[in-house]
Chains A and B, each alone.
Chain A
Amino acid sequence: MKEIRHEQVGETLYYERMPNGLDVYVLPKPGFQKTYATFATRYGSIDNHFRVDGGEKIKVPDGIAHFLEHKMFEEPQGDVFSQFASQGASVNAYTSFERTVYLFSATEQIDNNIESLLNFVQKPYFTDENVEKEKGIIAQEINMYKDHPDWQAYFGLIDAFYHVHPVHIDIAGTIESINQITKEHLYECYNTFYHPANMLLFIVGAVDPQKTMLLVYDNQAKKKFPKQGKIERFFDPEPPHIKLEKKVTRLPVAMPKCLFGFKETEVGLTGRQLLERECETKLLLELLFGPSSELYQKLYDQKLINDSFSHEYSSHTGYAFSVIGGDTPDPERLLDTVQKELEMWRKQGIQERDFERIRKKKIGSYMRMLNSLEAIANEFTRHHFRDQDLFDIPEVYQNMTLENIHERFEQHCRWSQMAASIVTNDG
């Protein structure tokens, strides 16, 4: 077991790789009541075309990673929710573009709950009948999101950015695509992506690292896994330019929603480089669009935006884009004003003092995030799957220069890469 001290944040992390390849991290939080654990696989909605060990290329229906996540909760004897409830734990799961995460939170029977988490995720049970039954439930989940203006605005923008990359496909798929899913598909995906060597267990809270590692070790030693073949993922080449300048969706909303952003042209970054770009872009967006920026105040005073105005940056090796915006009475005028103002800022440049202030804000927000066991586990996993370390983030911000930010401004905010998504009542 390796002990990793992070002095600045006052945390110690323990790490061990199990003989079957499973990475296990334990972060003890003395004084906390709860233990929170995530068991995650590098497998999300974008992994729909793949091959194992040079075998046949497989293409699976949209929404299958999410469908599989739902179905993991089914066991031959009773369901998983019940089992965790009888051990006083709340269990849940989520699927994102690039990972599927199973999790629990509990204040008692921690050992049992850790074992239950490992056991249910490592024991698939799919039947024709239980796969059919799930289709009705997921159809309602899809319908729920159809009525959700924020979600529609968000996916509308990704759809405007991407021609072929599967990031533009809704994580849950469509009612048509999930209807094609069979138990054979599910086993195929399960056997490909749920091998321990493709997974990470993170446990944070009131635990003893040594005992916990031993417990996981014993649990894994009892199970047999075939040797994991090399997973190759295929993505059709994505043109660097955007697909649509503007996408409009009709839904009942009180005021139109307008999200805009920039599609990154350079893809293929990994690890520390990808992390640096992510941190730089987030800092840049905060400088330009954050609540203390001149642009924000101007737009707010002109009643073009309100408190819903926000920004985020999503990046991965194969795709990266920013999402900026919120409710606005006049999407066209908002977009016009933003473009004019950004041009001005590009010429004028960013002030050193503003950069330093936002850097402080970013570091402080990072530290505050570490109060949350959930945030630690989920963010650690997200970064780890990209060969990054969550605990490097303060250093990345400390090393950043104003010059980096100006470069980022030039690279990221290109008009030819800008798209907008509008949700409105009007036809």
Chain B
Amino acid sequence: MNSAAIERSNVGNIRLHVLPTDRFKTYAVTVHIGRRLSEDHVTPTALIPFVLRRGNSRFPETKTFREHLELLYGAGFGFDVTKRGDYQVVQFRMDMIHEKYVDHPHSLLEETLRFLGDTITRPLLEDGIFRKLYVEAEKNTLEKRIQSLINDKIRYAAERCIEEMCAGEPYRLHPLGRIEEIGRITPASLYEDYRRWLKEAAIDIYVVGSVSMSEVKSLVAEAFQYENNEPRAYEQVEPVQHARKEPKTVIERLDITQGKLNLGLRLPVTYADPDYPAALVYNGILGAYPHSKLFTHVRERASMAYYVSSRLHGHKGILAIQSGIEIANFEKANEIIRQQLEAIKDGQISDQELEKTKKMMCSQLREILDSAYEMTAFDFNNVLAGTDRTVASLIEAIQEVEKDDVQRIAQTVQLDTIYFLRDGEGGHDVERNTP
């Protein structure tokens, strides 16, 4: 019933994680391929899945590739490029209906793993490299995707805050890479990058559904064929602790109506730390919920925002606060937010706040077990951090967190960067005043 029931094994350098369950109507398969974030690799690595999804050696044309998925009862197929701590993780997902709901005579799990194996390990090659047409088209797609990050101002402000805060660290990099690197990529260079990536990356495949490990193991061995060796572990990275005396303030102007105030903070706790559950509770009391301090004070009492919340970057040791406010309220909102940070430091945490937060967190953790992909994501945190937490053990640890623990965490949290996106001309011009 929980992640303890996940069976593990490996095929070559692929780690397998299989959760047999009858609760879902589907086979949910996720392939994680992760490598250290680096300036050199980030852009080609981001481009690889875009090119792979155009066609493989079995279905070279994009149209037939997609038609095949439709014939498999509209199987969901997608990919994502994410940043987890100092790693860039490419995920491929397939969501396939179980054959019994559509009266299909054969195992649709086999079709799923075969399709993923073909797509990831038997790409379409022409003269021994990727097809030029696909590489060029996907370079354009990636470039436009990066440029369009500015469209969603909430996300844009969040990304920009992290970028400013982590200038000089790999974590500043966007998982989709850097626009200026795209031009240099050729079908040949990308194919080289792809081969190195498969060889050097850590690869984890999760399968959730009505399956067994032995079945998955033999299907994966057949479907994923490439030069392989031993499984690679994710290395642990120490959280960065800057001794910034005064927070860095960045003000950026765009032609917008609502101001976006984002704060970046550091704390010396990451996922593997025994204090991680206390950091989660801290974040919950501060800003993860509608009963949290930020929502209560900035929205409900001061009527200053519609959204205001905080979020923990658990693999990095960063806490990010985001809010949308009237531009003229910058100083006031900033002050109210900082008062909330101080209040927790001073131990102003009521029993009720603590209890509600713990209850909400535990309930949300249990809900993870109702979704194949959320269970996968939860367990993959363990792979990233080298831990073996289960939903049950994390719930237990959260229940033991006391007020003093939260206060202790609060005292280690340091405000690093204040980012404000406001109205005005100037496009991307950035005003900085770092006292």
Contacts and interface: CB of A to CB of B under 8 A. Distances in A.
B70 A358 contact: yes
Scoring A86, A140, A141, A146 by chain B CB atoms within 10 A of each residue's CB, the highest score goes to: A140
Interface string B334-361: 0000000000000000001001110110
A292 B366 contact: no
B137 A140 contact: no
A137 B303 contact: yes
Interface in B147-167: 147-154
Contact of A367 (B66, B72, B102, B324): B102
A66 B137 CA distance: 43
A259 to B, nearest CB: 14
B367 A34 contact: yes
Interface in B233-256: 254-256
Nearest to B150: A254
B153 A148 contact: yes
A209 to B, nearest CB: 18
A86 B358 CA distance: 9
Contacts of A255: 144, 147-148
A296 to B, nearest CB: 9
B195 interface: no
A307 B324 contact: no
Contacts of B23: 29, 31-32
Interface of A: 8-10, 29, 31-34, 79, 81-82, 85-91, 105-108, 133-141, 143-144, 146-150, 251-255, 257, 291-292, 294, 297, 300-301, 303, 306-308, 327, 357-358, 360-365, 367-368, 370-373
Given A32-B23, A85-B360, A364-B73, 8 more contacts: A34-B367, A88-B359, A140-B325, A146-B257, A291-B66, A303-B140, A370-B25, A371-B26
24 contacts: A81-B290, A81-B295, A85-B289, A85-B290, A88-B362, A88-B363, A89-B360, A90-B363, A140-B258, A140-B306, A143-B324, A144-B154, A150-B152, A253-B151, A292-B69, A294-B63, A301-B137, A327-B144, A358-B70, A360-B74, A361-B73, A367-B25, A368-B25, A370-B25
A140 B305 contact: yes
A220 B62 CA distance: 56
Interface of B: 21-26, 62-63, 66-67, 69-76, 95, 97, 101-102, 137, 140-141, 144-145, 147-154, 254-258, 289-291, 295, 299-300, 303-307, 324-326, 352, 355-357, 359-360, 362-364, 366-367, 369-372, 427
A105 B367 contact: yes
Nearest to A140: B306
A150 B155 CA distance: 14
Given A253-B151, A254-B144, A367-B73, A87 B256 contact: no
Nearest to B21: A31
Nearest to A354: B67
Given A147-B257, A363-B73, A368-B97, A141 B306 contact: yes
Contact of B147 (A254, A292, A300): A254
A85 B356 CA distance: 5
Contacts of A149: 151
B67 A88 contact: no
A357 B69 CA distance: 10
A128 to B, nearest CB: 15
Contacts of B307: 144
B306 A138 contact: yes
B113 to A, nearest CB: 17
A8 B291 CA distance: 42
Contacts of A361: 70, 73-74
Contacts of A364: 72-75, 97, 102
A363 B102 contact: yes
Contact of A82 (B25, B71, B152, B356): B356
A86 B355 CA distance: 7
A368 B76 contact: yes
Given A82-B291, A254-B148, A254-B150, A33 B369 contact: yes
4 closest A-B pairs by beta carbon, nearest first, are A364-B73, A361-B74, A136-B303, A81-B290
A137 B299 contact: yes
Given A303-B140, A357-B70, A360-B74, A144 B151 contact: no
B97 A90 contact: no
Nearest to B284: A85
A326 B151 CA distance: 12
A254 B367 contact: no
Nearest to B295: A81
A34 B304 CA distance: 34
Contact of A33 (B69, B102, B325, B367): B367
A367 B76 CA distance: 12
Nearest to B140: A303
A9 B102 CA distance: 9
Contacts of B76: 365, 368
B356 A252 contact: no
Contacts of A32: 23, 370
Contact of B74 (A29, A133, A144, A365): A365
A263 B364 CA distance: 41
A300 B137 contact: yes
A88 B153 CA distance: 32
A294 B148 CA distance: 25
B373 to A, nearest CB: 10
Nearest to A9: B101
A333 B99 CA distance: 43
Contacts of A357: 67, 70-71
A72 to B, nearest CB: 14
B326 A140 contact: yes
Contacts of A327: 144, 148
A85 B358 CA distance: 9
A291 B23 CA distance: 30
Could you say which of B140, B150, B154, B367 has the most chain A C-beta atoms within 10 Å of its C-beta? B367
A196 B155 CA distance: 40
A355 to B, nearest CB: 11
A107 B369 CA distance: 11
Contact of A136 (B70, B141, B304, B370): B304
Contact of A360 (B62, B70, B150, B305): B70
Nearest to B133: A301
Contacts of A148: 152-153
Given A31-B22, A306-B145, A358-B70, A81 B289 contact: yes
A367 B363 contact: no
A90 B364 contact: yes
A357 B63 CA distance: 13
B256 A252 contact: yes
B29 to A, nearest CB: 13
A141 to B, nearest CB: 4
Contacts of A107: 362-363, 366-367
Contacts of B97: 364, 367-368
Nearest to B152: A148
A9 B98 CA distance: 11
Contacts of B364: 90
A373 B367 CA distance: 11
Contact of A34 (B72, B147, B325, B370): B370
A225 B291 CA distance: 31
A339 to B, nearest CB: 22
Residue of B257, B362, B369, B371 most packed against chain A (CB within 10 A): B257
